[in-house]
Amino acid sequence: MSQSADALRITIDSAGLERRIDELALISEAPAPVVTRVLFSEADMRGRDYVRKAAREAGLTIREDAVGNIFARWAGSEPDLPAVGSGSHTDAIPNAGRYDGVVGVLGAFEALAALKRAGFKPRRSLEVVMFTAEEPTRFGLGCLGSRLMAGSISIKKAQALRDKDGRSLDELRAAAGYTGSLESVKLPSGYYHSFVELHIEQGPILEKENIPIGIVEHIAGPSSYRVTLHGEGGHAGAVLMPIRHDAMLAGAEIALAVEAAAKASGSPDTVGTVGVFKIEPGAVNSVPFKAYLEIDLRDARLDSRSKALSEIKAAAEQACKKRGVTMEFEEINEDPPAAGDKATVAIAEEVSAKLGLKSLRMVSRAYHDSLFMARVSPTTMIFIPCRNGWSHRPEEYSTPGHVASGAEVLAHTMARLAL
């Protein structure tokens, strides 16, 4: 018997979902509690096996594309209609925790399993995606799978990606068993009717305000840049200060310029970070002849992000001129912010209220695969609180109750969208 979404009563198997989160956390390149699962590492490959097993246990049908995105589908009564999508990632940066991304994959499986147990009969198909490489660890570029699905990266640029050992995406995906053409990853237009990603907040607001559900209205736009500086090396005792061309010091000035530009933007949403800074030769008694920096610059608005970037570039050129250092300043990615779909946001909000769960509309300051899904489908995200806002560290934690509430809101939202 089909049921209207409003009359639907579902029960999330919170203990089962926690057990799966724990089991997946043990599949890691580093000992527990650290979770590290870098794209196409042995741990990522075992993680993928675990995801397939969990999808099958939820009664879903699996397909995989040429870059390793895993799709797990429950066919609706009108399977040719655009589907309702959900999902997230299970790759994890070095020294990460167990919830980032994972809650959005295993939580979505549980949401669909709970809908099945409740006898719900979707008209549209429901589909969960485990996106390949949301994290930028391997290739320096985040959201690789969703970027390709949305057609937001050229095939040439994707094929030019190399990891730190010089291995290409094509080489690594072939070794992992993914051999189709990268062109085929792009979704046909109108593939998704709507898309809703469940994720931990990765910030402190929900916990501080004691609100169990966040609903994402905007995702800040990320950009990143690679800066290579060439100076002149030499003996730290013999090369006197007036004649130095120290590449590290030019880099230090650039790092400070990133901080200054972000702070001066006038918007609290502008954030700039130099998270990678390497020097050569890296010896105490040698003047650095080379420096390499990666800059991460984000903003909810493009105009203030562009202004900050111009200031950073001007300061970098000045620092290099002053120090007689040459510079290559290359863009890695410049992605616009995304807006959540108003109607989908409203449905998630209504569903939360009906379940007696207070919700808050939010900006996502981290990026997510939803940044790219929003380009091809009406999209929103459901956030749950995490302890102290911690993420990308082993202490990352969300209570079983919050995880279950997130899965419950996701299940009801997907059910409403599937009618």
Residues that bind ligand GLV (CB under 6 A): 135, 142, 366-367
Least spacing, CB of residue 333 vs ligand GLV, in Å: 11
The secondary structure element, H or E, covering residue 214 is strand 213-219
Residues that bind Mn ion (CB under 5 A): 100-101
Tell me how far apart the alpha carbons of residues 48 and 27 are, in angstroms, rounded to a whole number: 10
Least spacing, CB of residue 142 vs ligand GLV, in Å: 6
CA-derived radius of gyration, the chain = 23
Least spacing, CB of residue 36 vs Mn ion, in Å: 12
Tell me how far apart the alpha carbons of residues 313 and 310 are, in angstroms, rounded to a whole number: 5
Indicate the residue among 101 and 251 with the shorter CB distance to Mn ion: 101
State the binding partner of 311 from Mn ion, ligand GLV, none, CB within 5 to 8 A by kind. none
Q: How many CA atoms lie within 13 A of 152 on its CB side?
A: 21
Amino acid at 129: V
Indicate the residue among 96 and 254 with the shorter CB distance to ligand GLV: 96
State the binding partner of 101 from Mn ion, ligand GLV, none, CB within 5 to 8 A by kind. Mn ion
Outline where DSSP puts E strands in 59-159: 61-64, 70-74, 83-89, 92-96, 126-131
Q: Which two tokens stand for residue 96?
A: 């990460």
Least spacing, CB of residue 108 vs Mn ion, in Å: 13
Least spacing, CB of residue 340 vs ligand GLV, in Å: 16
Tell me how far apart the alpha carbons of residues 276 and 408 are, in angstroms, rounded to a whole number: 39
Indicate the residue among 143 and 254 with the shorter CB distance to ligand GLV: 143
Least spacing, CB of residue 4 vs ligand GLV, in Å: 37
Tell me how far apart the alpha carbons of residues 340 and 373 are, in angstroms, rounded to a whole number: 10
DSSP three-state, residue 332? strand
Q: Which residue is nearest to ligand GLV (CB)?
A: 366
State the binding partner of 337 from Mn ion, ligand GLV, none, CB within 5 to 8 A by kind. none
Tell me how far apart the alpha carbons of residues 56 and 73 are, in angstroms, rounded to a whole number: 10
Indicate the residue among 8 and 397 with the shorter CB distance to Mn ion: 397
Least spacing, CB of residue 332 vs ligand GLV, in Å: 13
Asked if residues 103 and 384 have their Cβ atoms less than 8 Å apart, the reply is yes
Amino acid at 200: I
Indicate the residue among 135 and 408 with the shorter CB distance to ligand GLV: 135
Least spacing, CB of residue 226 vs ligand GLV, in Å: 16
Asked if residues 84 and 29 have their Cβ atoms less than 8 Å apart, the reply is no
**Cβ atoms within 10 Å, residue 366:** 18
Indicate the residue among 320 and 384 with the shorter CB distance to ligand GLV: 384
The secondary structure element, H or E, covering residue 330 is strand 326-334
Least spacing, CB of residue 215 vs ligand GLV, in Å: 18
State the binding partner of 367 from ligand GLV, Mn ion, none, CB within 5 to 8 A by kind. ligand GLV
Q: What are residue 251's phi and psi, to 5 degrees?
A: -65, -40
Cα dihedral 403, 76, 180, 50, rounded to 10, equals 30
Indicate the residue among 101 and 145 with the shorter CB distance to Mn ion: 101
Indicate the residue among 127 and 296 with the shorter CB distance to ligand GLV: 296
Asked if residues 196 and 342 have their Cβ atoms less than 8 Å apart, the reply is no
Asked if residues 91 and 133 have their Cβ atoms less than 8 Å apart, the reply is yes
Indicate the residue among 92 and 108 with the shorter CB distance to ligand GLV: 92
State the binding partner of 378 from Mn ion, ligand GLV, none, CB within 5 to 8 A by kind. none
- Longest CA–CA separation in the chain, Å: 85
